[in-house]
Amino acid sequence: MTDRLTGTLLIGQSGGPTAVINASLMGAVQEAAKHEEIEQVYGMLHGIEGVINETLIDLRRERQETIQGLLTAPSSALGSCRHKVTDADYEQILRVFKAHNVRFFAYIGGNDSMDTAARISKIAAHDGYELRVMGIPKTIDNDLDLTDHTPGYGSAARFIAQSTMDVGRDLEAMRPFDNVIIMETLGRHAGWLPAAAALAKTRPEEAPHLVYVPERAFDEEEFLQDVAALYKELGCVFVVVPAFLKDAQGDIVGADKSNVVKDAFGHTLMSQSSSTPATYLRGLVAKRLGLKARVMLPGLIGRDASSCVSPIDRAEAYVVGQMAVRQATQGTSGHMVTLVREPDAVYRCTTGLAPLEAVANAEKLLPAEFINDRGNGITQAYCDYARPLLGALPVHTRLERYPVATRLSV
């Protein structure tokens, strides 16, 4: 490899969008302007499909105000995709790279995106085409390995925590009429998002009262026992479950087992005929306990909610985009930028690097020490880990409710 490589920087976004993914794009574009080696900055529309179809845009022709506006714009400004790349696709990708003299490639995404980037790096090397490939981490699921956390998680976690705080108060106010609320979060195999609800609790009686994660097998009978006991004590119960809540057999609770759907990457999807875990449990609570339950399905609102962005999350998203381009111009390739938490009393993160192949083939689950022994709650260790990532949550006041002495005899 020569000491000085010049050419086009190509940037793409892939997988589920987040509220801060465009901050990473902005960081990469602004950093590229500082390096003479980067002659052009192109964006690929709808992820890797934009390369395959050669649908590229010139990001340097965008107004500076537009690039600056990416900092607060939710979702993926370049468009996203969930395309499983074939061998023929990789040949086409290399042809497009050569046609546009792409020498720097940055892909913003999660596990599957890092796998795609790793494969592109290998194919270019095998072909003898000099290319520097960098991964920029993104996922609300926080399941990328070898990084303390992922940009996008802090804001999604903030949404879950704040929603739990707000709707928990609603449940308290309406408990003569509403008995149970079951909130279902996004997330596949890792319980980082449902765990975030635990950050809403400031006193024992506040929501959430029960939190379940996919790392622990779900037991219906224990669940019903817990709901019944908490309802007797508090008069209402706030439950948080993941979309992929699993039983002891590894089946998704409430799912139609005869109609399993897979995406291009082999990930399980909920079939249209299936109940979600939350809707299934609502029926179970009504049938077995005779309690009225409501279901909350925040879904995509929690993924892209710009109103709940964590300032720290946004700043770190910018930095990982910036550092990916800086590292590429300095000769680094085949790596993803990571966030490294410093062991200080005050929260601080620096950046590091992890091989793309190692990240692509690993999934970071919620550690055992973050889950309570019964598997229905989250420990203080998780709260200590996650709280700095969300920024300061609102503090909701409570009336002291000083009673007035009664004057009427019963």
Task: Give the catalytic positions in this structure.
Answer: 141
The order of strands in the sheet holding 180-185 is 210-211, 237-242, 180-185, 293-296
Q: Give which of 122, 166, 181 is closest to 308, Cα–Cα.
A: 166
CA–CA separation, 57 and 371 (whole Å) = 46
CA–CA separation, 375 and 213 (whole Å) = 8
For residue 156, give the amino acid letter. A
CA–CA separation, 61 and 123 (whole Å) = 30
- Which pairs with CB-CB distance under 8 Å and at least 24 residues apart come from 268-272? 268/188, 268/244, 270/243
Q: How far is CA 290 from CA 21, 231, 237, 286, in A?
A: 44, 11, 14, 5
Strand, helix or coil for residue 210: strand
> What are 41's strand-pairing partners?
9
Q: With the C-alpha atoms ordered 99, 105, 110, 116, is the resulting torsion angle positive or negative? A: positive
For residue 76, give the amino acid letter. S
CA–CA separation, 229 and 20 (whole Å) = 40
Instruction: Report whether 354 contacts 201 (CB < 8 A).
Output: no
CA–CA separation, 124 and 380 (whole Å) = 46
Strand, helix or coil for residue 19: coil
Instruction: Report whether 293 contacts 181 (CB < 8 A).
Output: yes
> What are 296's strand-pairing partners?
183
CA–CA separation, 60 and 32 (whole Å) = 10
Q: Give which of 156, 138, 105 is closest to 339, Cα–Cα.
A: 138
